[in-house]
Structure 1
Amino acid sequence: MSLTARELAEVVAELAPLAGAHVDAVRMHAERALTLSLRGRAGDALLLLSAEPDVTRLHAVGRRPPQPDTPYAAQAVLRRELEGARLAGLETLPGDRVVALSFDRAPARGGPVRLVAELTGRHGNLFLVDAAGVIRAAAARNLSQRRDLAVGRPYQAPSLPPGAGTDAGQGALRFPPVPGAPFPLSAAIEAAYLAREEERRLAEGRRRLREPVRAALARAGRALVKLADEAARVPAAEADRRAADLLKTHLRAVRRGATEVTVTEWTEEGPREVRVAVDPALTPQANLERYYRRYRRIVESAARVEARAAEVRAREAALRALLARIDAAGAADLPRLEREARRLAAGPRPAAPPRRKHDEPAPPYRTFRSLSGATVLVGRGAAENDALTLRVARGNDLWLHARGLPGAHVVVRLDKGKAPDAETLVDAAHLAVHFSDARGAPQADVAYTRARFVKKPKGSAPGAVTYSQEKVMLLRTEPGRVERLLAEEEGGQG
């Protein structure tokens, strides 16, 4: 949704009283969007110019949009050229979506300049043009294929589309002015775009949760197929048991080196001849045991397969229900649904940290997030354990270790005076067990204390520490919890 030529003309007329105001600050909020903080006799105002695709517009705003973490390259030039300048006026090119803001400056600063906003959809851009008509700066690279709009070249206005001379006066305004607002039309436009932005953020939030849940559903479906294949092997196990029983009855009939033996099986219909395959490299007794062993393995696994299939089906049902709630969720529901998705090992992956420079060493720890969002650090090795515990950890942080076993130091970041919640404590304990010699054990003891109670004995080996004030937890490991934590490691294994 972009403003039409008529709507831009109406906004420019509404903003005319701002002429004479001085520019206090220039801030870029996107590659082709900025705000001007104005101060003048008509009062303070914040002016937004956006040439971003689908949201090209110009109007006064009540609140400044969020700023990026890294400033855009053009911001420094625009600040140097425009801050302190006086807004002389605003004008539109009749029939087109181009607005020029004229600024007066002292001759020592180069004289007057214009900020030309081409609010023309996906090819829009912002240009700073000096009194000679030369482009001094551009918000983004030149997107026009017909005009040379490079910095240092003369600015060329876009040619008017056919019929543009009368277009500005046609069409109804889509934004009913807000009575009582300092700039009624601008207030209506801002409200409409804020609502649109809320809708976009909600759609993006739903998509962010929906994609990993759908991927988890696909994994569950594939797991059920594999489990069904394993369950299909159970009838074949009965054939192995039958063969073993027949061999047991006729063991003396089996000759060493034979590939099969013909035996008599007594059935309700009477006796019949049955051929049983045997391995010529095995003794008769070994062939018998091989059939029984294969039978027992399949039968014993059948119960585990059924239990696992029931677990996967329950998880699949929970994921489908969660997916339906995500599709109907409001913005306030998304954090709760994300926690539920993480509990089902279907949460979105954390954003990757900024890539390290080639000469920048890797941190001595791996980073995980607990279900409640707490940061959990795990040492990468013995020397890295020392670095994590003695240099990275703060006194109030929680420190954990698999009790009495070699393993990683685990640190939970905590604010002063805060204690970890139950989910974070259990998550961190699982990481301490997983990154220790107790990995894979059904249960293990985990010691935990505050980092300030962990000391390094003089002359001790890397990773060796002593600790006091500890508590010990008997942890019954949950494979699903470990799977979730590992899947959501920040920045990969690094």
Structure 2
Amino acid sequence: LDGLHFRPCLLLGPEGMPVDFHCLPLTMCSNLSLSGTMNETLDAYYTLKYSGNRIRQKKEYLGKVMKAHLERCNRKAGLQEEQIQGASRLQVCRTYGELLTANLYRLENGISHATLEDYSREGNPLVEIPLDPSLSPGANAKKYFKEYAKARNILAKAEAQLEKTRQEALYIANVLFDIEEANSLAELEQIQKEIMTEGYLKTNVPRPKAAPGDEFCPDRYRSSDGFEILVGRNNRQNDELTLHRASSKDIWMHARNIPGAHVVVKQDPGREISETTLREAAAIAAWHSRYRNSGGVSIDYTQIRNVKKPTGAKPGMVIYHRFSTLYVRSDKDLIIKLKEGNDPHAF
């Protein structure tokens, strides 16, 4: 050990959590955090280790809860799709009613079926229509129209319910993404409070106490051209950022049709947001999305004034119009370079 200087350090894993400690700086390792005294190093090691275990346990618990709700949504959507298919098949009742009405003069009472030409289809194919012999042809036509009206109402309701179910599934997928992305207990407690409020977690589960990390604390980046870029860390922060903190001319971004964070590029007075800044912000949006590791991500962007939250929509869910799209790849090196308060171990 001659010639080596006593300098305690922590060896960090890929997620920035400690995996070991040493009394000497391990120069062959890149993920090092140099500490003060050996006692301080040990305190930091065991504190972070304990915190890391709690984060992992809470992620597993919240993830399990929300995955069960996602499975429920998927089953519900399957049943609704079957209902829609069944109602769609009853659309033929309208055709039967129209054909019977147009041919009443040719039909006798007491018949069990009628074979008629379908003039609405190319080639006028013959269609055999089942009839109730106890009803007149006119009454049979009314019966088919009534069945069609009933099927149309069922179809409209089922389609609306299916869209609602799909939106719920998308919301749950966003929550699961937020859980995966969270790197602190404060963030996970924010998510837990959100899903309790939305009714996905029983209220007899202890509600997390407010913590210093509960305040609005988005990720902050600075583009090469000096524009501030803010990123919501979860659905509540996404709502706060997009609906309350951003100005009408700021630029809003989101990965298209996949779970991801809301990204806002702040407008500087007297300056146009450059193409370079837009592409860098889009790369940030791609990084903070489910498809981070894919070949590329479509990022929609528009001014904040074009982003609205529908009445009754769940946290983080918005609609937008008058948008453009950039296709970009997420770039870890760029993300680290642009991150304010840069900590490479956070990536």
**Greater relative contact order (Cα < 8 A, sep 6+):** 2
Relative to its length, the structure with more strand (as a share) is 1
The two structures have a TM-score, normalised by structure 1, of 0.31
User: Greater helix percent: which structure?
Assistant: 2
Normalised to the residue count of structure 2, the TM-score between the two structures is 0.43
Q: Which has the larger radius of gyration?
A: 1
